A and B are shown apart, each in its own frame.
Chain A
Amino acid sequence: MIRLHALGKAYRVHGRMRAVLSGIEATFRPGEAVGILGRNGAGKTTLLRLIAGVEHPTSGWVERGMTVSWPLGFAGAMHYSITGADNARFIARIYGKPVAETVEFVDAFAELGEYYRMPARTYSHGMLTRLGFALSMAVDFDCYLVDEAVAAGDSRFATRCRDALEERRGRSAILFVSHVPDLLRQFCTSGAVLQDGRLTRYDDLDQAIAAYQPA
């Protein structure tokens, strides 16, 4: 399970500290698929980055009782100068997975065709998203942090992502951030709203959607 303890993050903007998140308390358990709603700029991405450990909180801390993926849907976790296959080899070595199997798995999942053996900098945005998602599936985390960008674009791949996440539902937790309530209905069972730097949990996704007023 993942626990957020009085989690806060502030950034320096024009010389002054501006709080993005403050005093967030939350618990996420295995098997939960939580949709986190928030407007653009509400701090959804920041929250995922703190949970993933990409950035460190200004106050409070993240307790990780399970393995947590990097934030998916951003291109961040990859190398552009090397091929998709080399990225798969690198990830396999970093996370201690068998290299040959990982390369094969990612090839089949991401469906990049010939591009799999080309440098990632030649990929389209959609292809990068697919590679990133496939890499994270190969590592097999306990908890997946997913940005709405994964579901956008190519709808056939979005369906495959949903199926892959669905298939893991029993053992993995999923935190899915979006500003579009309809996307969350496809993926999630419970909800939360991120507003004014605070996170409010709802056991029922519809309650969360009702409480959320998109701008």
Chain B
Amino acid sequence: MSDANAAPQGKIKWGRVRQSRRISDKLLRVFATTSTMLAVFVLFWILGMLIWKGGQGISVDLFTKITPGPGSQGGGLLNAIVGSIVLTFLGIAIATPIGVMAGTYLAEYGKGSKLADLVRFINDILLSAPSILIGLFVYVILVMPFQGYSGWAGSVALAIIALPVIVRTTEDMLRLVPNSLREAGAALGAPPSIVIRQISWRAAKAGIVTGILLALARIAGETAPLLFTALNNSFWFNWNLTGGISNLPVTIYAFASAPYDNWQQLAWAGALLITGAILALSIGARSLLNRK
């Protein structure tokens, strides 16, 4: 033992690892660690910027007053916040029944069928289709024929973006339900529709809700498809959702690129609100899934 310790460290190479191997290993470790740190750093940089610049604009007025005119002082984002909530929830309300039913078809009825394979494939493509094209599509089918922007068009665009997320998670979650549960239900004489509703859906409930929350987080910050469907509006909106509807993302876009300090301040505050809401939703969805 004492001999080994006495031997001069410099002369005996540790093991027989070639220098080049050790260097390449070191380089990989440094590179991988740096790139991860960079990604985490960017996240905190963005969050820090939002809190720093947006935090100053958070006030009671933000939630009680409507958007101010160009160059004027004061005002808030009340109409944009309410408009965004209405559009987003309407979008989810349209997408959820269709998405859950389509996911149910893929997981329960369409096992091994060609149609189900095709739908699954197309759904995956729709999942990553550019959102601006969905905006254009809704413009062509809903805005052009009816000669006008509307909240309905905006929420349909958001629904089309939310739909593939819901289809995908519903299918994945229903596939996790053990078949023995379904067989037990069928053995009691329950027809497929009752087995699905009373057994599969119940067992997969947490997962399906997670999917809906993720879809909500996905569409809450979408701007591009709203640009030419719901447009924007600086007034309180009418509840039949015709005409331009004020909404947070498009308001932020318009205010951030405008030369008025007051507007920019509101844009930062709105950005903080929307990012906070989306991150809270994603974290909530994740913890819901992990709790199971």
Is B one of A's binding partners? no
Write the residues of chain B forming the contact surface with A, with a CB cutoff of 8 angstroms.
none
Write the residues of chain A forming the contact surface with B, with a CB cutoff of 8 angstroms.
none
